[in-house]
Amino acid sequence: MGEFDLIYRYFDRKTTSSHGVELAIGDDCAITKLAPNQRLAISTDTLVCDTHFLPNITPADLAYKSVAVNLSDLAAMGATPAWISLALTLPDVNHQWLAEFSQSLFAILDRYNVALIGGDTTKGHLSLTLTAQGILPAEQGLFRHQAQEGDWIFVSGTLGDSAAGLALLLNQTENLTASDRLLIARHLRPTPRVELGIALRAFSQCAIDISDGLLADLGHILKRSRCGAEIELADLPLSSHLLARNPQFEAEQLALTGGEDYELCFTIAPHKRSDFEKFLRSQGIKATCIGRIVAAEQGLTLRRQGQIVPPPTKIGFDHFQTSK
């Protein structure tokens, strides 16, 4: 089977006019359209075997996660996902693998009403590069440089679960408990907080998704916004599944530095906090206030019930200093 036969068999699917696609797979470029009051948010991620995912990952999990992490980037900008393209490098053509991969790929794309509009296939070490595109209203969006002194710092969901799940996979742990399996699922199938990101446009101006670890990613906000932050460790949202496997201190370290939770970290201005918390309750959304933005000269400070706690020596994941 040649390259184009492979594309047409597994990845060419008709898109609907609601996607705003004028021309998709089958030409040199895809063509999409935007309304006059819209902007385009674009994110590109590369996932490489043995760096971003384990070689024994199932094709269904790989397809899901590769899309989810890109949609998480759009969520961090407050964008509505619209289109995605996929460049897939394969060591060989395995039809069973491709069938499972493409089925899972389209399942998550359908879940978020996203169209696959193009890409490429080639032969080599297993890797994927995805470009996700989302739509932003002309005057709205969430940006790392817009945190303000006095803002409250929130995170969605719970933190540290993905890193704990990865540790279980790496250690090939036997006799897994129900909590263990949920931690592994949080690593393999993170939930992109798309709906929350869109809703945050009414409450926030600043967000980031937690891919490299809370401290590392919050650090990007602080650098771009030229601010500092105080974090209360007692307020970190830790799941019962994480605490069932790890002591409190280890769970905190995973939450601070583990990465790949793909939750959102965002700021809320003081005058909007009450309305935002009412919104969370009305929608049944879990988000936790963990600290506050402070003056830049104060840096990043961790506290536990008022007492300063030294930061971890390892802040987060870096592609050129460590591997997963």
pLDDT in tens, 62-91: 999 999 999 999 999 999 999 999 999 999
DSSP state of 172: T
Report helix, strand or coil for 264.
strand
Q: Residue 11's pLDDT band (boundaries 50, 70, 90)?
A: confident
The domain that holds 240 is classified in CATH as 3.90.650.10
- 156 annotated ligand binder: no
- 180 annotated ligand binder: no
**In terms of Cα–Cα distance, which of 249, 255, 153, 170 is closest to 206?**
153
Q: Are 124 and 53 in a shared domain?
A: yes
The domain that holds 61 is classified in CATH as 3.30.1330.10
- pLDDT digits 0-9 by tens, 90-105: 999 889 999 999 999 9
Domain that holds residue 165: 151-305
**In terms of Cα–Cα distance, which of 168, 136, 162 is closest to 261?**
162
CA angle 177, 178, 180 (to 5 degrees): 65
Q: Residue 33's pLDDT band (boundaries 50, 70, 90)?
A: confident
Using an 8 Å Cβ cutoff, are 98 and 63 in contact? Answer: no
- 249 annotated ligand binder: no
Relative to beta strand 300-304, strand 228-232 is: parallel
Q: Are 224 and 274 in a shared domain?
A: yes
Q: Are 184 and 128 in a shared domain?
A: no
Q: Are 182 and 290 in a shared domain?
A: yes
- 260 annotated ligand binder: yes
* Number of domains into which the chain is organized: 2
Spatial separation of the C-alpha atoms in residues 2 and 96, rounded to whole Å:
16
Spatial separation of the C-alpha atoms in residues 93 and 87, rounded to whole Å:
15
- 267 annotated ligand binder: no
- The domain boundary, picked from 137, 162, 194, lies at 137
- The percent of residues above 90 in pLDDT, for the chain, comes to 79
- 252 annotated ligand binder: no
In the predicted model, is pLDDT for residue 322 greater than 50? no
Domain-located, residue 317? no
pTM of the predicted model as reported, rounded to 2 decimal places: 0.91
Spatial separation of the C-alpha atoms in residues 180 and 316, rounded to whole Å:
23
Domain-located, residue 318? no
- 73 annotated ligand binder: yes
Q: Are 43 and 189 in a shared domain?
A: no
Q: Are 85 and 49 in a shared domain?
A: yes
- 52 annotated ligand binder: yes
Q: Are 196 and 227 in a shared domain?
A: yes
- 274 annotated ligand binder: no
Q: Residue 15's pLDDT band (boundaries 50, 70, 90)?
A: low
